[in-house]
Amino acid sequence: MYAFQKIRSFLFYLSVFLFFIGLPFILSFALGYKFNTHTLKFVKTGLIFVKTQPAGAKIYLNGKLIAERSPASMQELLPGAYKVTLELAQHYPWKGQVEVEAGKVSRVDKVILFPVRPNLQQLNQEKFSSFRIDTEKKVVYYLDQEKKVVYRSNLDANNFEDIASLPDKFSQVNGWEVSLDKRKLFIFNHHQISVIFFDTQIDYEYSATAVFLDYPQEKIIDVFWHSDSYHLVVLTDKHVQVIESRLGALPINLVELNKGGSAAFYDTKEDALYFSDSQRSPDGSFYNNLYKLELSANLYLLERLIAQPFGAVKPAPKEWPDE
Amino acid sequence: MNKALFLKRILEIIPGGLSWSIIVLLILLSFLHPVSSAIIIISFDFYWIIRTVYLTTLLVMAHSRLFRQRNEDWLARCLSLSSDLGFSELYQVVIFPVYNEGLEVLRPSLAALSGSHYPQEKIIAVMAFEERNIYAHDNALILEEEFSGRFGTYLSTFHPDGLPGESRTKGANATWSAKAVRKFLDTRGIAYEQVVISCFDADTCVDKEYFGCLSYHFLTSEKRHQASYQPMPVYNNNIWQAPSFARLVEISSSFCQMIESMRLEKFVTFSSHSMSFKTLVQIDYWPTNMISDDSVIYWKGYLYYNGDYRVIPLYVTVSLDVAYSSNIWRTMVVQYKQKRRWAWGVENFPFVVNGFIKNKNISLFNKLRRSFHLLESHVTWAVWAVILVVIGPLPILFGGTFFSQMAIAYNLPKITGLLFKFTLLTSLTWIFLSWTILPPRPKGISWFKNVILILEWIFVPFIILIIGSAPAIDAQTRLMLAKYMEFNPTLKGNKVL
């Protein structure tokens, strides 16, 4: 019993000793102090924390390579300016000057090391005029105006397949977009829209499934898919319209525009069209306004205009097509 | 409020007040002055790690003593003794205070007692029932029929409910029973000096060598009447059946008790323990209105003998039940309540300090040292997990932009992480030792359970969160607000012997 108590007492006092000896060093380290063995004094230092994307970069501090790779911290640095260079094979290096303050952390933690060429990959195999990327389905659509064909592949440049042929009479394509249901696309030029259905299951004449919508009196500026993948929202030089993507469908004028050449953006998540149009002010000059047209619930209602400082935009008269 | 009551309330408020002050102060500091808070947290982390390593070393020492001593033939050593009190003159009184435990709990306890490697004619077994328990008399009859022939004497006592000055506590029942034993001894003409009394929880299964070891230490100890004798509690009765959560908590409890056995200057009786019957009578038995009767009995002895009273550790085991319930959530509640009851031992602080104030024969140094130990152990219990788990990350989370640019903000999680990786090494020691104190795997339990017993230690951080500090804070807050706890025994699982 006595021997055990002696050992225990020794361990107790050893623990107390270690605590009081170790604590000042741990705290001084935590607070950024460095013990200078020459002057026998504590000097307050700072540190640089380096983090890169991707990790594992070599770190040069004032041109000297340090042992650690990123992410890493360089501690006990005397206050001042340091040149930091970060290098990773096959990546562009990062260089910068970092100011170290006593007792503080200088963070270099938003560094992205961009790869050199090897990550550049050609996706297409044949010629194309334009493309669309679908990040959700991870596919790329190519449109080749010359061959009048639409084909697609995955984002790794595999599984190429023709999915649609463009109609012969459609000589010029000003714009195109794949529907949200990924089953069709529209193409348009100044006076015509064509909706072409994909069919990759059976091989038959695509053009037989195409729908043509003619706009002889107006100039089409832009076209958008409604989220239902059935209606098209059309911006012409005179109107904002919606039209069903079926043969013989007639457009509904939602907004009468004051001038041609409006710009537009369509938010498919909310089914809202943002477009610009000009208004005449009381002094006779013209100002541009930006409008928001919500199309999700009531296609014909023109509400919630973002700004109408010089008078409301004029809704088009309801002209219901004959059924 | 009279002076004595005022003093009592002040002393009751001190532990909880201190714990809450530390917690609130550190939380406020994390927001108002995160640098100071970080310095305190790092200091506490470092202290905690040194303490963990130190205590683990003590555990290893206690464990080695347990393994060396538990297989001794203590009876043979007793028989070869020549002391002023002969072994043949010694009697062992064993009281099992029964609250509402059923026969499935009581039978194995008596069976283990009757299987002791000790002359049975020298054992006086006492089942101390509560009169208010409607099954008490029926169970007493059944047990008398089964066990009365196996001991020198077998007694059943029935503690009446609602005696003046008493609370519904285990101590009240044990005291009633001890007084009955006193009458019995008087009628037989047995001197109290010849009697060692053990007060065991109802689920206590003694090791075969326990009474031999107890007798040896009693007979050979200087001032044998000025000591309590404390076995090592293990929770082996149903440890293979208990859920991981409960098993880990109880193994940790056993280890804590083993560690305490190495710190004699702080060692206090806990749960099942033994002492001189003469001393028990002199100090007026166990307290009848306090829940923590097991530790208060030590302090009563300490005050009675003016500080010249100690606890002698016995490196033999008494096995108890792991407290658990039908599902994990209920088990957590059961464990939480049990630990809160243990933490209610904080009621010792006002009792002891009050006793110190009245006692003029104990040195001031000893009074201060023991009071400090008592207060420090309870306050540490209440705050350690809160500081490590809750307050530790606060400076980083709420220190603000300025603090986040400081070197200490960067180093705080780094140093804390590094220090705690170091403590993983001590965890490996605990895992190994826990494996060595397990009883043999019962039939029907898969060998795979051995693997689970090791892997379950990964739940330790989660357990720390649930029952690390919370029960102690709860108990201290209740005492602080004078919302006194009532004795509520823990639900125990079935035993497998």
* pLDDT given for residue B409 in this prediction: 87
* pLDDT given for residue A258 in this prediction: 84
Chain A residue numbers with beta carbons less than 8 Å from the beta carbon of B405 are 104-105
| B65 inside 8 A of chain A by CB | yes
CA A80 to chain centre: 39
pLDDT bracket for residue A202 (50, 70, 90): very low
The full set of domains in chain B, from first to last, is 3-66+367-480 (no CATH), 68-329 (3.90.550.10)
Best residue of B42, B60, B229 to probe chain A, by most A CBs closer than 10 Å: B42
A197 assigned to some structural domain: yes
pLDDT bracket for residue A203 (50, 70, 90): very low
* C-beta separation of B276 from B301 below 8 A: no
A71 cis-preceded (ω within 30 degrees of 0)? yes
Written as one letter, the residue type at A48 is I
Chain A residue numbers with beta carbons less than 8 Å from the beta carbon of B213 are none
* C-beta separation of B280 from B178 below 8 A: yes
Handedness of CA B26, B30, B31, B33 (dihedral sign): positive
CB atoms A31 and B408 under 8 Å: yes
Name, in order, each residue with C-beta under 8 angstroms of B482's C-beta and a sequence gap of 6 or more.
B9, B12
Chain B residue numbers with beta carbons less than 8 Å from the beta carbon of A8 are 58, 61, 262-263
Tokens 């499935």 sit at which residue? B104
Name, in order, each residue with C-beta under 8 angstroms of B26's C-beta and a sequence gap of 6 or more.
B37, B40, B41, B387, B391, B394
pLDDT bracket for residue A207 (50, 70, 90): very low
CB atoms B407 and A30 under 8 Å: yes
Residue range of the domain that includes A252: 119-294
Chain A residue numbers with beta carbons less than 8 Å from the beta carbon of B416 are none
Residue of chain B whose alpha carbon sits nearest to that of A107: B405
Asked which of A58, A84, A117 is the last residue of a domain, the reply is A117
Angle of helix B244-260 relative to helix B34-69, nearest 10 degrees, comes to 80
Which residues of chain B fall short of a pLDDT of 50? Answer: 493-497
| A8 inside 8 A of chain B by CB | yes
* pLDDT given for residue B492 in this prediction: 56
Examine the domain organization and report whether A171 and A123 are in the same domain: yes
CB atoms B415 and A29 under 8 Å: yes
Q: Which of A53, A49, A20 is nearest to A32 (CA)?
A: A49
Q: How many domains does chain A have?
A: 2
| B47 inside 8 A of chain A by CB | yes
Examine the domain organization and report whether A141 and A110 are in the same domain: no
According to DSSP, the residues that pair with A220 across neighbouring strands are A236
Examine the domain organization and report whether A214 and A256 are in the same domain: yes
* C-beta separation of A302 from A313 below 8 A: yes
Examine the domain organization and report whether A154 and A191 are in the same domain: yes
Chain B residue numbers with beta carbons less than 8 Å from the beta carbon of A2 are none
Contacts across the A-B interface (CB distance below 8 Å): 68
| B49 inside 8 A of chain A by CB | no
CB atoms A11 and B415 under 8 Å: no
| B406 inside 8 A of chain A by CB | yes
Question: The sheet that has A286-294: what strands, in order across it?
Answer: A264-267, A272-280, A286-294
A241 assigned to some structural domain: yes
Q: Shortest Cα distance from B209 to chain A (angstroms)? A: 19
* pLDDT given for residue A88 in this prediction: 95
Handedness of CA B481, B483, B488, B493 (dihedral sign): negative
Q: Shortest Cα distance from B140 to chain A (angstroms)? A: 42
Q: Alpha-carbon distance A148 to A249, whole Å?
A: 25
> Cα-flanking dihedrals φ and ψ of residue B159, to 5°?
-85, 120
Q: Which of A15, A18, A49 sits opposite B410 (nearest CB)?
A: A49
Examine the domain organization and report whether A62 and A98 are in the same domain: yes
Q: Alpha-carbon distance B490 to B320, whole Å?
A: 12
Name, in order, each residue with C-beta under 8 angstroms of B33's C-beta and a sequence gap of 6 or more.
none
3-state DSSP call for residue A171?
Answer: coil
Written as one letter, the residue type at B122 is K
pTM of whole model > 0.80?
A: no
* pLDDT given for residue B125 in this prediction: 97
A6 assigned to some structural domain: no
Which residues, numbered 247 to 286 in chain B, qualify as contacts with chain A under a Cβ-Cβ cut-off of 8 Å? Answer: 262-264
* C-beta separation of B299 from B370 below 8 A: no
pLDDT bracket for residue A303 (50, 70, 90): very low
* pLDDT given for residue B351 in this prediction: 95
| A34 inside 8 A of chain B by CB | no
Q: Which of A8, A11, A103 sits opposite B407 (nearest CB)?
A: A103
Q: Shortest Cα distance from A46 to chain B (angstroms)? A: 7
* pLDDT given for residue A307 in this prediction: 41
* pLDDT given for residue B177 in this prediction: 97
Please state, rounded to an integer, the average pLDDT across all residues of chain A.
84
Instruction: State the CB neighbour count (10 A cutoff) for residue A173.
Output: 16
A34 assigned to some structural domain: no
Asked which of A101, A117, A133 is the last residue of a domain, the reply is A117
Q: Alpha-carbon distance B114 to B104, whole Å?
A: 16
Examine the domain organization and report whether A172 and A272 are in the same domain: yes
CB atoms A31 and B39 under 8 Å: yes
* pLDDT given for residue A297 in this prediction: 59
How are beta strands A286-294 and A149-154 bridged, if at all? Answer: unpaired
| B418 inside 8 A of chain A by CB | no
Q: Shortest Cα distance from B50 to chain A (angstroms)? A: 6
CB atoms A18 and B50 under 8 Å: yes
| CATH for A272 | 2.120.10.30
Q: Which of A256, A153, A166 is nearest to A210 (CA)?
A: A166
Give the 3-state secondary structure of chain B. CCHHHHHHHHHHHHHHHHHHHHHHHHHHHHHHCHHHHHHHHHHHHHHHHHHHHHHHHHHHHHHHHHHHHCCCCHHHHHHCCCCCCCHHHCEEEEEEECCCCCHHHHHHHHHHHHCCCCCHHHEEEEEEEECCCCCHHHHHHHHHHHHHHHCCEEEEEEECCCCCCCCCCHHHHHHHHHHHHHHHHHHHCCCHHHEEEEECCCCCEECCCHHHHHHHHHHHCCCHHHEEEEEEEECCCCCCCCCHHHHHHHHHHHHHHHHHCCCCCCCCCCCCEEEEHHHHHHCCCCCCCCCCHHHHHHHHHHHHCCCCCEEEEEEEEEECCCECCCCHHHHHHHHHHHHHHHHHHHHHHHHHHHHHHHCCCCCHHHHHHHHHHHHHHHHHHHHHHHHHHHHCCHHHHHCHHHHHCEHHHHHHHHHHHHHHHHHHHHHHHHHHHHHHCCCCCCCCCCCHHHHHHHHHHHHHHHHHHHHCCHHHHHHHHHHHCCCCCCCCCCCECCCCC
Examine the domain organization and report whether A132 and A219 are in the same domain: yes
> Cα-flanking dihedrals φ and ψ of residue B110, to 5°?
-70, -35
Distances (CA, A) of B416 to A107, B43, B421: 20, 10, 9
Best residue of A4, A6, A106 to probe chain B, by most B CBs closer than 10 Å: A4
Examine the domain organization and report whether A150 and A77 are in the same domain: no
* pLDDT given for residue A312 in this prediction: 45
CB atoms B61 and A23 under 8 Å: no
Residue of chain B whose alpha carbon sits nearest to that of A104: B406
A206 assigned to some structural domain: yes
pLDDT bracket for residue A305 (50, 70, 90): very low
- DSSP annotation of A20: H
Residue of chain B whose alpha carbon sits nearest to that of A10: B54
Angle of helix B470-480 relative to helix B460-467, nearest 10 degrees, comes to 10
Asked which of A117, A139, A171 is the last residue of a domain, the reply is A117
Q: H or E stretch including A213?
A: strand A211-214
Give the 3-state secondary structure of A217-257. CCCEEEEEECCCCCEEEEEECCEEEEEECCCCCCCEEEEEC
CB atoms A4 and B61 under 8 Å: yes
- Terminal Cα-to-Cα distance of chain B (whole angstroms): 53
Q: Alpha-carbon distance A135 to B362, whole Å?
A: 82
Q: Which of A11, A15, A30 sits opposite B408 (nearest CB)?
A: A30
Examine the domain organization and report whether A153 and A168 are in the same domain: yes
**Cα torsion through B368, B373, B375, B377, rounded to 10:** 170
Examine the domain organization and report whether A113 and A123 are in the same domain: no
Tokens 């679908």 sit at which residue? A134
| A49 inside 8 A of chain B by CB | yes
Written as one letter, the residue type at B476 is Q
* pLDDT given for residue A287 in this prediction: 84
A180 assigned to some structural domain: yes
User: What is the tens place of the pLDDT at every residue in A52-93?
Assistant: 999 999 999 999 999 889 999 898 898 999 999 999 998 999
Q: Alpha-carbon distance B228 to B243, whole Å?
A: 33
Give the 3-state secondary structure of B354-413. HHHHHCCCCCHHHHHHHHHHHHHHHHHHHHHHHHHHHHCCHHHHHCHHHHHCEHHHHHHH
Examine the domain organization and report whether A131 and A255 are in the same domain: yes
Chain B residue numbers with beta carbons less than 8 Å from the beta carbon of A45 are 407
Name, in order, each residue with C-beta under 8 angstroms of A164's C-beta and a sequence gap of 6 or more.
A149, A150, A185, A196, A197, A198, A199, A206
Residue of chain B whose alpha carbon sits nearest to that of A49: B410
Residue of chain B whose alpha carbon sits nearest to that of A22: B46
A50 assigned to some structural domain: yes
Residue A284 has pLDDT above 90, yes or no: no
pLDDT bracket for residue A209 (50, 70, 90): low
A100 assigned to some structural domain: yes
Residue A311 has pLDDT above 70, yes or no: no
* C-beta separation of B331 from B246 below 8 A: yes
Q: Which of B54, B61, B409 sits opposite A12 (nearest CB)?
A: B54
* pLDDT given for residue A118 in this prediction: 66
Chain B residue numbers with beta carbons less than 8 Å from the beta carbon of A32 are 406-408, 411
* pLDDT given for residue A216 in this prediction: 82
| CATH for A61 | 2.60.40.1120
CB atoms B409 and A105 under 8 Å: yes
Residue of chain A whose alpha carbon sits nearest to that of B315: A1
Examine the domain organization and report whether A48 and A192 are in the same domain: no
